[in-house]
Amino acid sequence: MIENIFEIKHESTDGKSRTGTLHLPHGDVATPVFMPVGTNATVKALTKDDLDEIGFEIILANTYHLYLRPGSDIIEEAGGLHGFSGWKKNFLTDSGGFQVWSLSKLRKITEEGALFSSNIDGSRHMFTPERVVDIQTQFNSDVQMQLDVCTGFGADKKEAVHALEITKNWLRRAKQEWIQKCDSGYQGILMPIVQGNFFEDLRKHSAEFVTGMDLPAIAIGGLSVGEPPELFASTLDYTVNYLPKEKAKYVMGIGTPDYILDAVHSGIDMFDCVLPTRNARNGSYFTRDGNLPIKQERFARDFGPLDPECNCKVCRSYSRSYLRHLFKSQEILGSMLASYHNLYFLHNMMKEIRAAISENRFEEYRTNFLKRYHSDKWKIK
């Protein structure tokens, strides 16, 4: 049996939520955890010191993009992602499967792997499950993801079955390659991915297959691909029922407070999304009263703090008026400050969530948070 790297600290008495600790090569990670996305080994508009200052213990990087530029050999020579970027805590790297899937006109999926054209220069490349394990090993990823085949919302069952069968076969091959890498000294974990689109029988089958592979943690894929929020929540909740409680669980691609709270409610321990920093670059700030659109004229002479309840350095140091000015002037500092605030907000929210779970009041916290968050305070009446 492969060693479990996840330790459950407290299981809430008011639902499935729990706190825990992930024991990873570059330090422990408290869960539930939101992981910022650093596609090119950098979280956009933030330094590694910013992320450390906020308190993050793990960030993401993107295998597809880093393989194409600067290349896995260069990253390996630099000492892996940690040596290359200077970020000394944990990296989770995705497999590149989602990016390959999204490039529908530039790729071909076969039993062997995914053949695709670079979005940079059009050059042709092949990702096999073994090659993707090798690349992420070169990165020295603390958590690496298997190569999988994702299907979008609205896909028919035949397509979903085909994608699932390929994903299962790729997992078998990826696990064999990963074990060989571990035998050679690699310390990162491989995480399998549950697929099956929105068909319950396929979800159940995939969950049971992944469980049988006995890997250290499990990801739930194929969600947040355009489906209605209620279908996301019900599919996630259904899938979790067929996964072992003792394994850490990860849902990819969610990063708004309501989706995060839904995931924690279902017993999920890890999640990530580009949305907090993307929203920031578009002038949208997280607050407890919903997303504040800083570009609005009413903030032109508002010299108060962005969020009086937030203790981040942005809210302590800058006014809404100034932040609006930065955004309207397209100053780089505007993106930097907004990104810092949004990630601080989510990190602080995760600390509150962990405290609420530990005190068996998560469902109360969730209800109260969402009631206020959806109050439409910042909507122009």
* Each residue's pLDDT tens digit, 264-302: 999 999 999 999 999 999 999 999 999 999 999 999 999
DSSP label at residue 146 = P
Residue 150: pLDDT over 80 = yes
Output Rg (C-alpha) for the chain, integer angstroms: 21
Give the residue from 9, 10, 16 showing the smallest Cα distance to 363: 16
Which structure tokens are listed for 171?
A: 């997992």
Task: Output the CA angle 75-281-318, nearest 5 degrees.
Answer: 110
Among residues of the chain, what percentage have pLDDT more than 70? 98
The single residue of 94, 142, 262, 269 carrying the catalytic annotation is 94
| Position 2 confidence tier, pLDDT thresholds 50, 70, 90 | low
What CA–CA distance (Å, rounded) separates 150 from 33? Answer: 24
| pTM for this entry | 0.96
Query: Which pLDDT belongs to residue 119?
Result: 85
Residue 204: pLDDT over 60 = yes
Query: Which pLDDT belongs to residue 198?
Result: 98
| Position 135 confidence tier, pLDDT thresholds 50, 70, 90 | very high
| Position 1 confidence tier, pLDDT thresholds 50, 70, 90 | very low
| Position 192 confidence tier, pLDDT thresholds 50, 70, 90 | very high
The single residue of 148, 262, 272, 307 carrying the catalytic annotation is 272
Higher pLDDT, 118 or 75: 75
160 three-state secondary structure: helix
Query: Which pLDDT belongs to residue 3?
Result: 75
What mean pLDDT, rounded, does the chain reach?
A: 96
What CA–CA distance (Å, rounded) separates 72 from 63? Answer: 9
Asked if 94 is an active-site residue, the reply is yes
Give the residue from 231, 54, 34, 67 showing the smallest Cα distance to 141: 67
**Residues in contact with 68: Cβ distance below 8 Å, sequence separation at least 6, in sequence order:** 118, 119, 120, 125
Residue 114 φ/ψ, nearest 5 degrees: -115, 115
CA dist 17 → 171, 254, 371 (Å)? 28, 17, 19
Residue 381: pLDDT over 90 = no
Asked if 201 is an active-site residue, the reply is no
Give the residue from 142, 206, 144 showing the smallest Cα distance to 174: 144
What CA–CA distance (Å, rounded) separates 141 from 121? Answer: 26
Identity (one letter) of the amino acid at 272?
A: D
Measured over the CA atoms of residue 361, residue 363, residue 366 and residue 372, the dihedral's sign is negative
> Which residues does residue 291 pair with via DSSP β-bridges, in sequence order?
286
CA dist 377 → 288, 293, 318, 380 (Å)? 10, 11, 21, 8
Whether the CB-CB separation of 41 and 280 falls below 8 Å is answered with: no
For 42-99, the pLDDT digits (tens) are 999 999 999 999 999 999 999 999 999 999 999 999 999 999 999 999 999 999 887 8
